Amino acid sequence: MVIKASLNRLKIAEVPITLHKDGRSRPPHLRSWRDGWRHLRFMLLFSPRWLFLLPGVVLLLGGLFLGLRLLRGPLVIAGVAGLDLNTLLVCAMSVIVGFQLCLFAVFTRIFALTEGLLPASPRYRAVFRIFTLERGVVGGLLLLASGLALLIHATRLWTAEGFGVLSYSESARIVIPAITLLTIGVQTVFSSFFLSILGLKRR
């Protein structure tokens, strides 16, 4: 009741009462860990923002900013720790996972709205007007094209070296962003179709 009242912006007030014990002598049935997890899970399912969106945004932006810096070259912190290609690979994973979590937040919100689990939101209606299936597919194809262009560039560099051994540092700084763009492009294209399916009106 508290969750639904909060979602519907209802006023919540406390009313003092007199407690009358029921006189039972048996121990309570409450199990702290099991019932506490069920309670937390229930609250998280009604809040995709905290469950998916905020962790996704942190991973996406953190991986993106640090990854863009590492594309320029190694990063030395305090003259001791050096961040290089391994960290760049972790950043790529962070961007992909963060992007997926953001999509999960949108999927969950749209499903909850269409099923009546959450109150209607004009903000998400505007999302469907702006981010249509066609625009999502075009955006995903642009990401795919960018990733493919980077792979072609890496292949040309390899060809120029007679298909010999390339500098690992130079080639990885091209291939890792290419694979990341291709992965996000595929996610964007098919997520656009899935969002359109979730947005279909049902009886």
- The pLDDT score that the predictor gives to residue 149 is 95
Tens of pLDDT along 175-200? 999 999 999 999 999 998 888 887 66
Mean pLDDT, rounded, for 12-39: 80
> Which range (11-20, 29-38, 148-157) has the least confidence?
29-38
What is this structure's pTM?
A: 0.78
Which contacts of 65-72 are long-range, i.e. CB under 8 A and separated by 24 or more positions? Answer: 66/91, 67/91, 67/92, 67/94, 67/95, 67/177, 70/173, 71/173, 71/177
Max CA pair span of the chain: 88
pLDDT, the chain, mean: 83
Q: Which among 189, 176, 194, 197 has a CA at the least distance from the CA of 90?
A: 176
Cα-Cα end-to-end distance for the chain: 26
CB 157 within 8 A of CB 191: no
> What distance in Å separates the CA atoms of residue 198 and residue 193, rounded to the nearest whole number?
9
| Res. 101 pLDDT band, cuts 50 70 90 | very high
CA distance 89 to 173: 9
- State how far the Cα of 7 lies from the Cα of 54, in Å rounded to an integer: 18
Residue 63 near residue 91 (C-beta atoms within 8 A) = yes
Interval 129-174: pLDDT, tens: 777 788 889 999 999 999 999 999 988 888 887 777 777 778 888 9
Model pLDDT, residue 7: 73
